[in-house]
Amino acid sequence: MSKLVTILLMLARTLGALLVLLGISIWVGFGGVTPVHAALGSLFVLDAWIIALIALFALPKRLLPLLVLALGGIVAWLGVAQTTLLVGSAHWAVRLVHLLLGLALLGLVESLGKAVRLHQRANDQRS
C-alpha cells in the first residue's frame, strides 16, 4: 500500500504543478487551455480522493481524510462554477480563492500521504 500512496503522491505533485502553470496561462489570456486545465483538475481531485479514502481506512484518526474529501469537492465545484461567480472586475477574487484552495488541497494530500506511509512503516516494524 505504501508504494501505491507514493505513486499517487507523485501524480498529485505533478498534476498540481501543471495545474498552476495552466491556471497562470489562463489568467494571462490563453483561454484555449481551459479544457485541459479542467480535465487535469478533475484527475487531481480524483487522486486526492483516492489518497483520502486509503487514509480513511488505514489511519486511526479520520478528521484529515474527511477534510481532504470535502475540500476536494469544494475545489472541483469552484472550478466548474467559477465562471459564473463575481463576473466582472471582481472575478480575480474567485480565481485567487480557487488557486489557494487547490494549493491547500495539495498540501493536505502531501500530509495525508506522509501519515499513511509512516503508519504503514510502524505497523510493518511491529510485525
**pLDDT value at 1 more than 90:** no
The confidence score (pLDDT) of residue 121 equals 87
Q: What is the pLDDT of residue 7?
A: 96
- Ranges of each domain in the chain: 2-126
50 contact partners, CB below 8 Å, separation of at least 6: 8
Structure confidence at residue 114 (pLDDT): 93
SS (H, E, C) the chain: CHHHHHHHHHHHHHHHHHHHHHHHHHHCCCHHHHHHHHHHHHHHHHHHHHHHHHHHHHCCCCHHHHHHHHHHHHHHHHHHHHHHCCCCCCHHHHHHHHHHHHHHHHHHHHHHHHHHHHHHHHHHHHC
Instruction: State the pLDDT at residue 17.
Output: 97
Q: Is the pTM of this model over 0.85?
A: yes
Q: Provide the CA 72 distance to its chain's centre, in angstroms.
A: 6
Q: Which pLDDT does position 124 carry in this prediction?
A: 80
Share the mean pLDDT of the chain. Answer: 93
pLDDT grade, residue 2 (50/70/90)? Answer: confident
pLDDT tens digit sequence for 60-99? 999 999 999 999 999 999 999 988 888 888 888 998 999 9
